[in-house]
């Protein structure tokens, strides 16, 4: 990690208003309750946004006033390397860019930012065959109807929610916007920039419009070259087959390990460690590991690391062994038809069982890569059924907002005290800088040994009883 601002220590993932009500209170929580247990912090999008909890950014040159301002970001950055989000695929429908385009249409200086169906598709609109090829989250063509001030209407590319209008990354104007935005993030204290929904950014007719090569690599390289002089790293966020992460890693990029959550659940539910061991042996070393994120537990990422039958078995066991988790929380009744993730906290996925949960975290901390711990997971949070029922949004089950008083109380729970102790060990022991060796012992024993020069640390785990030791 030469020239990088990152350190091989645990990174917390949190919203600006989830540990306390704003950035100032977040800093209090970090200083008072987490201390040496947390190094980096991924503050989920803190810019003014019109939807999707920050992921429909209207602009990047301000902090949402409800959270604070850039001086609050700078105060946290003094002691914690920070990860910022850049939505490389889209921008808010309510942004001045799109609103100006609706007003002035072809006379708008921002017209090249957006993908107009009439220009993109050779026939002005996609054929059924072309629509079927697109890797998408909607059963229809990914578009919204733009109604211009002059009374005309057009279809504009829109992959996600209607407030998230896709950017045309093929245009020089958009590329300049991307470069200027990530450069400004570097100047405002980012140590790492997460490229949200990166694989969707490049579109070409008659393709899946997902991870399109070689254009994806050209875009990624351009962003890397822009941030490199600042000693800032980039992390493309891609939920898909693990082979994509291996490809990125081969080219020297940081990647996410989104396969680990389901593999650990499979191991702890069944007592079988072979699938988990296989992944620990082949996974990229330059990666950020996760068990939980703001999006829930990823399923699509584990394809071929678990068989289809094993994935289904793990899903079913999650609904039987998990605490307060129902299939209905992942349906249209809770505004969720996302087959990519299961809505559940990781603690509740393991039945709110302290031993199983601590073992899951120990496995994560011993795995290759920099561990990320989502704020609900850092406090061993259970499913927030009250919030879920109030909002009817499936993902809110894993998005409890903690007051300072709640954080003070939760950090006194024995499971959280032990977790913070594990986190401090992961951050301070020199063995974690080196190689990772794994072994299966007996029917359901797993050992992971980290070795760095003369330093050595071994996790011995019983995947059936969930007992473990570190020596």
Which pLDDT score, from 0 to 100, does residue 335 have? 72
Q: Which pLDDT band, with edges at 50, 70 and 90, does 336 fall under? A: low
Which of 25, 163, 237, 384 is an active site residue? Answer: 237
Question: Averaged over 231-260, what is the pLDDT?
Answer: 97
Q: How confident is the model at residue 289 (pLDDT cuts 50, 70, 90)?
A: very high
Q: Which of 135-139, 240-244, 299-303, 366-370 has the lowest mean pLDDT?
A: 135-139
Please check the confidence at residue 137 and state whether its pLDDT lies above 90: no
pLDDT at 34 over 90: yes
pTM value is 0.97
* Domains in the chain: ranges and CATH: 11-88+172-433 (3.20.20.80), 96-166 (3.90.400.10)
Q: How confident is the model at residue 2 (pLDDT cuts 50, 70, 90)?
A: low
pLDDT of residue 100: 99
Residue 92 has pLDDT above 90, yes or no: yes
Mean pLDDT, residues 175-181 taken together = 99
| pLDDT (tens digit per residue) in 190-240 | 999 999 999 999 999 999 999 999 999 999 999 999 999 999 999 999 999
| Mean pLDDT confidence for 439-445 | 93
- The active-site residue, picked from 72, 196, 301, 396, is 196
Query: Taking each helix axis from N to C terminus, what angle separates 260-270 and 308-321, rounded to the nearest 10 degrees?
Result: 70
Q: Is pLDDT at 278 greater than 80 in this prediction?
A: yes
Burial of 287 (0-12, 13-18, 19+ CB in 10 A): buried
Sign of CA dihedral 468, 305, 8, 197: negative
- Does the pLDDT value for residue 323 go beyond 90? no
CA-to-CA distance for 21 and 315, rounded, in angstroms? 34
List the one residue out of 304, 380, 305, 326 whose CA is nearest residue 315: 326
Segment 389-432, tens digit of pLDDT = 999 888 999 999 999 999 999 999 999 999 999 999 999 999 99
Write b or e for each residue in 233-259: b if 16 or more Cβ atoms lie within 10 A of its Cβ, otherwise e.
bbbbbbbbbbebbebbbeeebbbbbbb
The whole-angstrom separation of Cα 290 and Cα 283 is 13
Q: Is 315 exposed, middle or buried (0-12, 13-18, 19+ CB in 10 A)?
A: middle
Mean pLDDT confidence for 340-366: 96
Q: What is the pLDDT of residue 1?
A: 58
pLDDT tens per residue across span 58-79: 999 999 999 999 999 999 999 9
**pLDDT on residue 141:** 94
- State the pLDDT at residue 332: 74
196 is catalytic: yes
pLDDT confidence of 247, banded at 50, 70, 90?
Answer: very high
Residue 339 binned pLDDT confidence (cut-offs 50, 70, 90): low
Residues 375-391: pLDDT tens digits?
Answer: 999 999 999 999 999 99
DSSP one-letter string for 148-186: -TTS-EEEEE-SS-TTEEEB-TTSHHHHHHHHHHHHHHH
């Amino acid at each position: 990690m030469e020239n990088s601002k990152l350190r091989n220590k645990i990174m917390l993932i949190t919203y600006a208003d989830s540990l306390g009500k704003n950035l100032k209170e977040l800093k209090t929580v970090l200083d008072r309750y987490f201390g040496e247990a947390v190094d980096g912090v991924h503050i989920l999008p803190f810019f003014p946004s019109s939807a999707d909890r920050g992921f429909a950014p209207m602009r990047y040159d301000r902090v949402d006033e409800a959270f604070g301002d850039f001086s609050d970001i700078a105060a946290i950055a003094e002691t914690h390397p920070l990860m910022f989000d850049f939505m490389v695929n889209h921008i808010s429908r309510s942004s001045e860019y799109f609103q100006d385009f609706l007003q002035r249409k072809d006379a708008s200086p921002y017209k090249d930012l957006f993908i107009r169906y009439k220009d993109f598709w050779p026939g002005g609109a996609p054929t059924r065959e072309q629509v079927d090829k697109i890797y998408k989250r909607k059963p229809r063509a990914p578009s919204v109807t733009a109604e211009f001030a002059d009374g005309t209407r057009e279809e504009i590319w829109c992959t996600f929610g209607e407030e998230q209008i896709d950017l045309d990354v093929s245009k020089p104007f958009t590329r300049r916007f991307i470069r200027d935005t990530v450069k400004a993030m570097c100047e405002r204290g980012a140590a790492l920039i997460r490229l949200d929904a990166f694989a969707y950014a490049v579109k070409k007719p008659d393709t899946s419009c997902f991870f399109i090569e070689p254009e994806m690599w050209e875009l990624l390289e351009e962003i890397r070259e822009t941030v490199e002089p600042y000693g800032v790293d980039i992390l493309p966020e891609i939920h898909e087959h693990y082979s994509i992460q291996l490809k990125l890693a081969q080219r020297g990029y940081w990647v996410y390990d989104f396969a680990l959550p389901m593999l650990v659940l499979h191991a702890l539910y069944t007592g079988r460690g072979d699938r988990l061991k296989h992944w620990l042996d082949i996974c990229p070393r330059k990666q950020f590991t996760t068990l939980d994120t703001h999006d829930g537990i990823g399923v699509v990422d584990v394809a071929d690391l678990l068989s289809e039958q094993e994935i289904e078995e793990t899903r079913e066991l999650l609904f039987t062994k998990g605490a307060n988790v129902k299939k209905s929380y992942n349906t249209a009744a809770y505004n969720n038809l996302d087959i990519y993730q299961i809505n559940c906290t990781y603690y509740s996925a393991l039945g709110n069982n302290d031993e199983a949960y601590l073992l899951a975290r120990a496995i994560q901390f011993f795995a290759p890569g920099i561990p990320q711990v989502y704020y609900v997971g850092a406090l061993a949070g259970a499913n927030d059924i009250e919030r879920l029922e109030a909002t009817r949004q499936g993902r809110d089950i894993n998005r409890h907002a903690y007051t300072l008083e709640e954080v003070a109380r939760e950090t006194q729970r024995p499971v959280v005290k032990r977790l913070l102790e594990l986190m401090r060990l992961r951050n301070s022991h020199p063995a974690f800088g080196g190689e990772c060796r794994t072994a299966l012992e007996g029917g359901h024993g797993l050992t992971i040994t980290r070795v760095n020069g003369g330093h050595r640390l071994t996790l011995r785990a019983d995947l059936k009883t969930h007992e473990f030791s570190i020596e």
